[in-house]
Amino acid sequence: MRESDSVTRLSGDEFILFLGGFESPQEYAKVLDPLIIVLGQPYQVVSRELRVTASVWVTLYPRDAADADTLLRHADHAMYRAKQRGRNRYLFFNPSRDRRARARHSQLEQSGAAIDGDELVLFCQPQVDMRRRRIIGAEGLVRWQHPQRGLLSPAAFIPLLAGTAVQQRLD
């Protein structure tokens, strides 16, 4: 760490480092690479050699957000991804990924609310036996009677729900 940096312990094995004064992204690497290497060094405890791994997640001010809470939330997201991809590495918070994730989350919530609010309706499309010229059955298809956007076809919302608990509720 440099003179100007500060380190805070957030909880348990979570620490926050405040690093400032960088002019370009390449400069972060000069601090973060050695940090990961140092943390990865083996420790000699009695006769055993122990190693710890570190996942580092990085969010940038002012690029990513304006306030401390949001920055910490971003860092938390990036941490989750860093752990998923294996330890001993650092990852940057990705603003566009975050926007997409939040948009998806909000759409899922709205779809769930639509089920609760009884906005989904079942339309029946007749199946016709052309030879005998009569209706033999129907296929039920869901439509969303959206209060602002009007009647939505399944294509507008079903793909988004695929594989989620919301879709199961829809069934």
What residues make contact with another protein under the rule CB under 8 A? 120-122, 124, 127, 135-142, 158-159, 162-165, 167-168, 170-171
Coil, helix or strand for 49? strand
Q: Which is nearer to another protein, 94 or 167 (CB)?
A: 167
Minimum CB separation from another protein for residue 96, in Å?
A: 24
Q: Which is nearer to another protein, 101 or 135 (CB)?
A: 135
Give the list of residues 6+ apart from residue 20 with CB closer than 8 angstroms, or none.
4, 5
In the chain, where does DSSP find H-type helix?
A: 25-39, 68-84, 95-116, 158-161, 165-170
Give SS3 for 102.
helix
Q: How far is the CB of 116 from another protein (least distance, A)?
A: 14
Nearest distance from C-beta of residue 99 to another protein, angstroms: 23
Q: Please identify, using beta-carbon distances, which residue of 82 and 170 lies nearer to another protein.
A: 170
CB of 10 or CB of 165, closer to another protein: 165
